[in-house]
Copies of this chain bind each other. A is one copy, B any other.
Amino acid sequence: MSETRQLFGAEDLRAKLYERGYKMTPQRKEILKIFVEHSDRHHMSAEDVYNILRDKDSEIGLATVYRALDLLSKLGILVQVDFGDGCARYELNTADPKIHHHHHLICLKCRKVIEFEEDLLDELEGLIDEEFGFQTINHEVKFFGYCQDCRRSMEGD
């Protein structure tokens, strides 16, 4: 009875892969593990993951990282987010679809990303289905602006 185990284990991965006819490999396991271990350090790019692997003396190639991130996203284990900084980023998708609605404040000056929780949009999804017949799988809300620190440092302008 380990339903409230931590985030996402190797067996969850195996099951999800098997479900769709993919194989479990050490590479996929290792890459997912990095996201679980770095669940504090959200939204990592392929390069970020690759660098962590190299630090660990892993032999996993960059192409494999890209392929794994893509696959894990398709399986709904990761979600891709894009902060307009020229590379795709990924973060763990928490299991409960009602929980993963955190959003991002992106500072246009220092590029810092602040997260916040907000479930305000759930009701909106219902309206969107009614009006457009559109079934929302995931949504993404980003606020671009200036963070507290940068606002202070710009006061002189």
Chain A residues within 8 Å of B, Cβ to Cβ: 80, 82, 84, 88, 105, 107-108, 114, 116, 118, 120-121, 124-125, 128, 131-148, 151
B145 touches A135 (CB 8 A): yes
Q: Which of B124, B136, B142, B147 contacts A133 (CB 8 A)?
A: B147
Q: How many copies does the complex hold?
A: 2
A136 touches B132 (CB 8 A): no
Contacts of A140 in B (CB 8 A): 140-144
15 A–B contacts, CB within 8 A, in A order: A105-B134, A105-B136, A114-B134, A116-B128, A116-B132, A128-B143, A133-B147, A135-B146, A137-B144, A137-B145, A137-B146, A138-B143, A138-B145, A139-B142, A139-B143
Contacts of A142 in B (CB 8 A): 139-141
Q: Which of B84, B120, B144 contacts A120 (CB 8 A)?
A: B120
Contacts of A147 in B (CB 8 A): 132-134
Q: Which chain B residue lies CB-closest to A146?
A: B135
From residue A132, how far is it (CB to closest CB) to chain B in Å?
6
B114 touches A120 (CB 8 A): no
Q: Which of B88, B114, B139 contacts A144 (CB 8 A)?
A: B139
B148 touches A143 (CB 8 A): no
Contacts of A120 in B (CB 8 A): 120, 124
Q: Which of B80, B107, B134 contacts A84 (CB 8 A)?
A: B80
What is the bound-complex CA distance between A148 and B136, given in angstroms? 11
What is the bound-complex CA distance between A137 and B105, given in angstroms? 11
Contacts of A151 in B (CB 8 A): 133, 135
